[in-house]
Structures are given as C-alpha cells and as structure tokens.
Amino acid sequence: MRPFEYASPTTEAEAVDALNDHDGQTMVLAGGTDLLSLLQRDAVQTQRVVDIKKIDTLKSIEQVDDGVLIGATVTLDEALESPLLAGHDSLAQVIDGHRAIQIQSSGTLVGDLCQMPQCWYFRNGFGVLGRKDGESLAELGDNRYHAVFGNSGPAKFVCASRFAPSMVAWGAKVRVIGPGPEDEQFVPLEYFFVTPRLESQGVNVLKPGQLVTHIWLPTVADVKSGAYEVLESKGLDRPQAAAAVCLQTEGDFVRDARIVMGHVAPTPWIAHEAARALVGQRLDEDMAGNIGDIAVSKATPLSMNEYKVAMARAAVKRSLLRAVGKLDDALV
C-alpha cells in the first residue's frame, strides 16, 4: 500500500478543511470496508484519508419536519434498528440481503452510495472506464457483470450501490458540503450518480473537497415499498440485478409508482415507462410480469450478459409483488 496521511476531524468544518488540502487529492473514510481494499490494491491513490467517524453530527438518525436525516456514519445495523426507518420496508429488505454481520456492523449507508464500481477492470487498475491502450476492456473482454442499460458510451460498469435503487424510489436527497467552508446543498439522489464519458468525471457529482454528510429520506404516508435483489449465493454476495419500488395504492389498484433498477447501468436506472404503465392498473402477478417486460424492453446487453436482462425483469416483478405483500403466494 502506498503511504498516505490520516486525518480524524471532529467537526464537519474540519472535515471540509482536511479534504481541501493537497489540491483535493484526498478521500473520505467511513466504515472503510471498501476503501481500504481499494487502497491496498492501488486501484485508487490518495494523499490523505479523512476519517469522519469522530464527527458527532454524522452519527445519528433524526426526525425532521418532512422526513428523516441519516448521518454519514450510521451503519447498516443502526439503520435497521431505528424506529424512524420502520416504515421504509425496502431499505430493511436490502440490509437483510447483505447476510454479512461484518458489513452490516461497520459499513455505512452513505459509504454504500459513494462506493466505487466493483468492475474487475477498475479494481485491477484500469480506471472506471476500464481502458487499456485506448480500447474498452469490457467491450472486448469478459463483460458478464457489466451494464445492460446506459452502456452506449465508454462507461460499461454498473453502479455498485445496493441502497441507491430503494433510496431513489423514495425520492431521497443527499446533503453535500464543501469545498468552500459555507457550501451546502441537497442533491436529489437520482442526479447524484454520473455516467462518465471521461475518466476524470468519476462516478458521482462530488468534486474534490466535498463530502456527503446526510441522506434525507421523505416520510410519506401510505407508501408501500419493496426491493428484490437477484443474488448468486446465500452468503456474502453482490446482486446481479436488483429493483426497488414505491407505490401508492387504492385497494388493489396503483395510483402512483416509482420503479428503479440496480446493478444494470452505471447509475440507478429509473423505469419511467414501466411506472407509467402501472398507474391505474390492478397489481397482480400477471401485471407485475408485464411491467417487468416493459422495464427491460429497451435493454442493450453486451456480448456476455444477456442473462442479466431476464434477472432485471424478475427483480422488477418480484419487488412489485413484495411491496403489496403478494410475493410469497406468487408462482414467479
């Protein structure tokens, strides 16, 4: 591992200050479950790691007027235990899917949103675009885990975040501070992720000297939510495809819908057309399957990953049925 400085600020202002040194060649450390392995592999380089775990304002989950604020060092287990998130079923379902006490007790929700791609070309030092001698390795080589949507440009990786689909479906925002001492903005999560055309663009909108301090989740009455991840193993695993939905219903009929797929594109992939088609319909197993068909109808698989399209369809269908409590009875 290359040497780097370590900073452990105790306030948000100190964190911004510490991130701004070295021309912003610095990185945030939360639970460290992903960042440390990236540094060990030399997949990322940094002059300084800024550990945010000692900042009190980032440690809690709080009720605010129109929602819930989740601090950047709140772990997956703390989120699962919080009564303030009890109504957000899809989040609990994704935490449950991790099946790894180490990740659940140390990993943070914000760290999950900000994590770099799992793409094996990136992890082996070829950058987020996975290029060698000007050629896309994912295009020429093994692309079985790569994108089936949003892959017409140079980025072929899939967004690694497991919570992004459910958070985007909920309409979450992230509070971003820096690089200036007074700079603060709430960014809708659906605009947080980036499909880079250039290596320097990164995978989200964060610029050097910025960090996410909180996730804001709206509390909306009468919303039914569900998530479904297609996993290969019963243990520690990453989804091949996933989906999360938020629905407003009247009896068996859907009044409003948000459907977001995960692990299929460089960003969470919102299925607008499928959601529109569901409004006004009775949600049963056949309808859920039809909506799954619509959600994947414009997929553009690469040479080795057509199988992911069927998985994404199944994830949409099952997350819809899960949201309305019909998954266990379904034939799927």
- Residues forming contacts to ligand FAD in the complex (CB under 6 A) are 27-35, 37, 52, 72, 103, 106-108, 110-112, 114-116, 162, 206, 211-212, 236-238
Give the span between the Cα atoms of 225 and 323, in whole angstroms.
5
Give the span between the Cα atoms of 158 and 146, in whole angstroms.
6
Nearer CB in complex with ligand FAD: 116/312: 116
Nearer CB in complex with ligand FAD: 117/289: 117
Nearer CB in complex with ligand FAD: 138/176: 176
Element (H, E) at 228: strand 223-230
> What is the DSSP secondary-structure string of 205-218?
S--TT-EEEEEEEE
Nearer CB in complex with ligand FAD: 154/165: 165
Name the minimum Å distance from CB 59 to ligand FAD: 12
Nearest to 130 by CA among 118, 121, 117, 139: 121
Name the minimum Å distance from CB 88 to ligand FAD: 17
Task: Look at residue 268 and give its three-state secondary structure.
Answer: coil
Residues 6+ apart with CB under 8 A from 263: 158, 159, 160, 229, 238, 239, 240, 241, 242
Give the span between the Cα atoms of 92 and 114, in whole angstroms.
19
Name the minimum Å distance from CB 107 to ligand FAD: 3
Residue 230 tokens read as 């297609």
What is the amino acid identity at position 188? P
User: Burial of 120 by CB count in 10 Å (0-12 exposed, 13-18 middle, 19+ buried)?
Assistant: middle
Residues 6+ apart with CB under 8 A from 48: 4, 5, 6, 7, 18, 21, 22, 25, 26, 27
Nearer CB in complex with ligand FAD: 145/291: 145
Q: What Å distances lie between residue 318 and 145, 154, 259, 326, CA to CA?
A: 21, 31, 12, 9
Nearer CB in complex with ligand FAD: 48/326: 48
| Closest-approach residue to ligand FAD (CB) | 111
Residue 18 tokens read as 């510490």
Nearer CB in complex with ligand FAD: 30/321: 30
Nearest to 23 by CA among 274, 272, 187, 208: 208
Nearer CB in complex with ligand FAD: 78/112: 112
